[in-house]
Amino acid sequence: MKVCKRCRKKEADVILSAVRFCDSCFIEYFERQVQRAIDGEKLGVRMFSRDVRILMAVSGGKDSMTLWNVLDDLGYETCGLHIDLGIDEYSEASRAVVESFAASKNLDLIVVDLRKEFGKSLMELAVRDACSACGLVKRYLMNKVAYEEGFSVLATGHTLDDECATLLGNLTRWNLEFLQRQHPILESTHPKLVRKVKPLFRISDEETAVYARIKQLDFVREKCPLASGATSLSYKKALNELERRHPGLKKAFYLGFLKNKALFGEQEGFELKECEACGMPTANVGLCAFCKLLERSKRRHGEGEQN
């Protein structure tokens, strides 16, 4: 019988990169990795303290549901934020999972329904690239809700795999601006811009899948129909093959980047303005990217035109 490497007593239920855990020891390991991230180990600054109420962005997928559950189990006060993008059955299933989880654990939940708030689904808002529009919409609404509801911290379920894929993409294009900005903690640079944190940056996709299985978490297993051609998927596939051949490579890749981040230079500071339409922070003059998206969508659908 192969035994757990931690307790040396129970049979190993989980084997990751030749490391063996029983279920209970794996959960302890997982929670410790998340707590180390929150404590800011090797980052030089904590993500948040226990007296801060955290807005938790939850899509209904494995990673965000895992993070919401582990933060609650660790004793942090959280409120969920779900953005219903109106992507037919996919959004319906995602919203149902999030609402059911919140009700089962008596957790607060804020739902933003694009159709109710703006009269259009994501596909109706998107003029060209729906996947890019999705990122823009979610970033804008997450920050807007966090600011308007008085939260000082917004947490997202980005994992080690997500961060490695982003890093590899930025390196292949030598996108210095994004390399300078990439970090598990994105500080506020404007009174209306809320601090963003990624407590799962030490955790792989495979590990969140094991956690969700042990904790019997319900989540949407279908991939977003808009993500089929996403470049990040090919980067993840390549990184997973490297990880299979060289266990520990992904964590060494990303943690090494954080350690040597200064090699890419300091991000140049610039003054954020406020959107003339919504008042939220933007680097643009006039309208922010989100309000421009709304305007383009209105023109495409012939709204506001005089007869």
Mind listing the pLDDT tens digit for each residue in 1-45? Answer: 789 988 888 888 898 876 899 999 999 999 999 999 999 998 999
Q: What is the pLDDT of residue 127?
A: 64
Q: Where residue 224 falls among pLDDT bands split at 50, 70, 90?
A: confident
CB within 8 A of 246, min separation 6: which ones? none
306 pLDDT tier (thresholds 50, 70, 90): very low
Distances (CA, A) of 54 to 226, 231, 261: 28, 30, 27
pLDDT of residue 190: 94
Which pLDDT band, with edges at 50, 70 and 90, does 192 fall under?
Answer: very high
Would you say residue 301 has pLDDT above 90? Answer: no
Distance CA 162, CA 169 (A): 11
pLDDT at 290 over 60: yes
SS3 breakdown of the chain: % helix, strand, coil, rounded to 5? Answer: 45, 10, 40
CA gyration radius for the chain? Answer: 20
pTM of the model: 0.92
Phi-psi region of 107 (alpha: psi -120 to 50; beta: other; left: phi over 0): beta
Distance CA 241, CA 201 (A): 19
**Residues forming CATH 3.40.50.620 domain(s) in the chain:** 31-220+230-261
Is residue 79 within 8 A of residue 108, CB to CB? The reply is: yes
Whether 127 contacts 112, CB under 8 Å? no
| Domain 31-220+230-261: assigned CATH number | 3.40.50.620
Beta pairing class for 78-84 and 108-113: parallel
Residue 303 has pLDDT above 80, yes or no: no
Each residue of 233-282: pLDDT tens digit?
899 999 999 999 999 999 999 999 999 999 998 877 678 999 999 999 99
Average pLDDT over residues 69-73: 98
- pLDDT top residue among 42 and 184: 184
Report the Cα–Cα distance between both ends of the chain, in Å, rounded: 79
Beta bridge partners of 186: 196
